[in-house]
Amino acid sequence: MKILFIAPYIGATYGGTSKIVTELVRGIGHLGVSVDLVTTHANGSKNLDVLLNEWINDKNHRVQYFYSWYQDDFIISPSLINWLFKNVKNYDIVHSQTVFAPMISVAHSICKYFKIPYIVTPHGMLEPWALSYKAWKKRIYYNFFENLAIKNSSAIQATSILELKNINYLEFKNTVFIPNGIHRHEFETLPNPKIFYQQFPETTGKTLILFLGRIDPKKGLDLLAPAFAKVHDQFPHTHLVVAGPDNIGFIDKAQSYFLQAGCLNAVTFTGMVSGALKYAALAAANLYVAPSYSEGFSMSILEGMASGLPCIITHGCNFPEAAKAEAAHIVEINVNAIANALIECLSNPQQAKEMGDRACEFIFQNYTWDRAADKLIQVYKSVVNKKPLPEFLDILK
């Protein structure tokens, strides 16, 4: 069986989706299945420095990058599309990543032309908030292109229970629930937090609240700013770390939220953090916060919980299982709810620590890349052999 992944991008600038795609491809290849990934050199304001139009071997899989033209998240690559038209028939199944992307829509049409089955992973782009953001543009695109392409897919991967329900509400069939994961060994021993303090000395000796994600309207920084202002008034030793890339030019607006709330002097915007610096940020943090309006299934939340941090996340993060396991504070999407949960954790550090310990164990037991890859392979085999799709609703059993 030969699997082809196609993604508009895998540059780190684009956040969790890029990591998800990379880890799934590696995980599938690790299990002995032939898997290739085709993508572009897009990476925000600076292209990836990679070889183009040639296969790059990466342990147990291959990656090929193509030149692209792009504006923010709008990415198109004629050379990749041309390659697909010539080569897609050499694969048994195609797994496309994200929706509302013209290049992916063309890929679906090519698959249909050559009668190659394809699976779609929306990465949260079919969530109610995501559909309502720039709604008129999406409505037109959805009605003319996306709706039929998704209906013609052999399977739609949802990464959370709520995303699964929302996709089913749109009357799509053939859905499967396979959440994202982490590598346990990356979080069992985190690096010395001094690595982070040395890079950002203003955070030294502070009680750090960590936001880890893209600087984007859907991430709820407009809510976090006044919420943190309330927290900082009561706990002046707190300091907020906003760690993540700005690939759409939103950072000035984001910083204005904290300026208006009167707490910008207690906030550090780090830009994108990766590798040892990211893990050091997790090690240095005392609390993790995700005030998002909408998520598919956030990688950074998994990382925060796997690091043993007390996590405050909104209902928009699509993770009710964490609340059921008492592994995170799940709050309403508003300023007071976010502020009150942060204050509760700061006021009760022992209870917060116990929640963080539960979070770590909960993630290690249920959300790993090995489990996700194994389940995807089962789906691929079912599609190729024209068998019913497996059900994976027993993740917590």
**pLDDT tens, 148-168?**
889 999 999 998 888 888 888
pLDDT given at position 267: 98
Domains 2-181+368-384 and 185-366 share a fold: yes
**What six digits make up the tokens of 156?**
């739609």
pLDDT given at position 271: 94
pLDDT given at position 393: 60
pLDDT given at position 302: 95
How, if at all, do strands 61-66 and 55-58 pair? antiparallel
Phi then psi for residue 319, to 5 deg, are -135, 55
pLDDT given at position 136: 74
Among residues 282, 335, 343, which one has the least CA distance to residue 351? 343
pLDDT given at position 394: 54
Instruction: Decide: helix, strand or coil at residue 168.
Output: helix
Report the CATH number of the 185-366 domain: 3.40.50.2000
Helices (H), ranges, the chain: 16-30, 78-87, 102-114, 128-132, 135-141, 147-151, 161-169, 185-188, 194-199, 221-234, 251-261, 275-284, 299-306, 320-324, 335-347, 349-366, 369-384
> Domain coordinates of the chain in residue numbers?
2-181+368-384, 185-366
Distance, in Å, from the CA atom of 271 to the CA atom of 279, rounded to the nearest integer, reads 15
Q: Say what the pTM is.
A: 0.81
Please identify every stretch of the chain with a pLDDT value under 70, giving residue numbers as ranges: 72-73, 393-397
Is 3.40.50.2000 the CATH number for 2-181+368-384?
Answer: yes
